[in-house]
Structures are given as C-alpha cells and as structure tokens.
Structure 1
Amino acid sequence: MTNQDLRVQLQENLDEAEWDWLIPHAKRDAIIVVKTGLELIEVGAAVASDDTEKVGLWISEALITKPSIEEIGEWNRHRTKRFYTLIVQPYVLVKAK
C-alpha cells in the first residue's frame, strides 16, 4: 500500500466521538492525544507505517502524548466533550474539537 493509499484509507476512518465513548479505550491505555499543529491523518499514517523517526520526534516535542491524569479528570467531568478520532490499531488517536 502506498503512502497515498494509506492516507485515503485513514481519511475514510476519521470520525468524531464523545469522551464517554472513548473511556473503554482509555482504560486499556490506548488513547494517544494529538496536539494542535499536527493533523490526525499525518500522525495516523506515521503510526501505521511504523515511522519511528517521525513518531519519536513528535513524542520528544510532546506533540503526541498519552492523556494526563488532569486531562482524563477534566474529560470525566465533561463526558460529552467531543474529539476527532482515528483508530490505528491498537491505538485511538484523538484531537480535541
């Protein structure tokens, strides 16, 4: 599969979800938060193609992170908070709306 084919497939899987729907994924430590400045499709393509250099750079710059205890607490208080989501097994990439 070419990078372009992968991006098209990921674009088709882009969705929205409320925090309440994402809690089961958070419980299995599968949520990755994508910060402002990065696109979900770009991150999803890098994760899916195992681009460790790019992903490592984003991690080191805190552009992709696991949700903090504070973020989870805030989202649990506002369970209808919505996110853009992209599933890239075994992860669920989320970006706040």
Structure 2
Amino acid sequence: MEDIKTQLAQDIAEIEWEVLIPHAQRDAIIIVDSGLSLLDVAVAIAKDDRMSVQHWISEALITKPSQQQLSDWNGQPEQKFTAVIVQPFVLICPI
C-alpha cells in the first residue's frame, strides 16, 4: 500500500481552476479542507477507507463545491489549487 501513497504523492500538482472546469462539469471535484493532508485523504479514498472518509464527510472536511464556489472560481479561472486525481474524483485544496 505504500506504493499507492508514493504514487499519489508524485501526482499532486498545483493547477489553475481553468484546468479543473471539465471535472467540475462531471461533478468529480472534492474539496479537501486545508486542515487535512491532501495526500492522506487521497490515500484513504484510494484504499476505500470508508471509516475515515465518512468521518471527514460528516465533519464537512471533504465536500463537493457549492454553486457559489463554482461561480466564484469560474469568474477567476486563474485561481490556483493543489490537486490530485483519485479516479473518478479530483481532490482539490484551494491555495
């Protein structure tokens, strides 16, 4: 399982909202609270760690973007995020 963590760590990148729009259009964006490690959340989702994921959802630490957030980001396509893909999702953390 360490391979998953290593691979995901290498896949984390800083990207602009403009690149994420197609993923938002297919409802695949998950926002990770800045208090969490993007890598830890990605690994938990990749490993299907339902206990951790459900806890984060219940605490609103991982969420889907609101319509207001989508509207704001669409108006600022240069807004940067740290992101990683865990199929079929794209996990993001605003910078």
- Which string of whole-angstrom CA distances, capped at 9 and with x for unpartnered residues, describes residues 44-84 of structure 1? 00000000010000000000000001100110111100000
Query: What letter matches 1:16 in structure 2?
Result: E
Q: TM-score, normalised by structure 2?
A: 0.97
**Counterpart amino acid of 1:87?**
I
Aligned-partner Cα distance in 2 for 1:91–1:56: 16
Structure 1 moving runs of 4+ over 3 Å? none
TM-score calculated relative to the size of structure 1: 0.95
Aligned partner (choices 73, 78, 95) of residue 93 of structure 2: 95
Deviation at 1:5, TM superposition (A): 1.9
Which of 3, 13, 16 is residue 15 of structure 1 equivalent to? 13
Aligned to 1:50, what secondary structure does the other structure show? coil
Indicate the percent of aligned positions where both proteins have the same amino acid.
48
Unaligned runs of 5+ in 1: none
Query: Which residues of 2 match residues 1-97 of structure 1 at below 5 A?
Result: 2=1, 4-97=2-95
Return 5+ residue gaps in structure 2 as ranges: none
Count residues with an aligned counterpart. Answer: 95
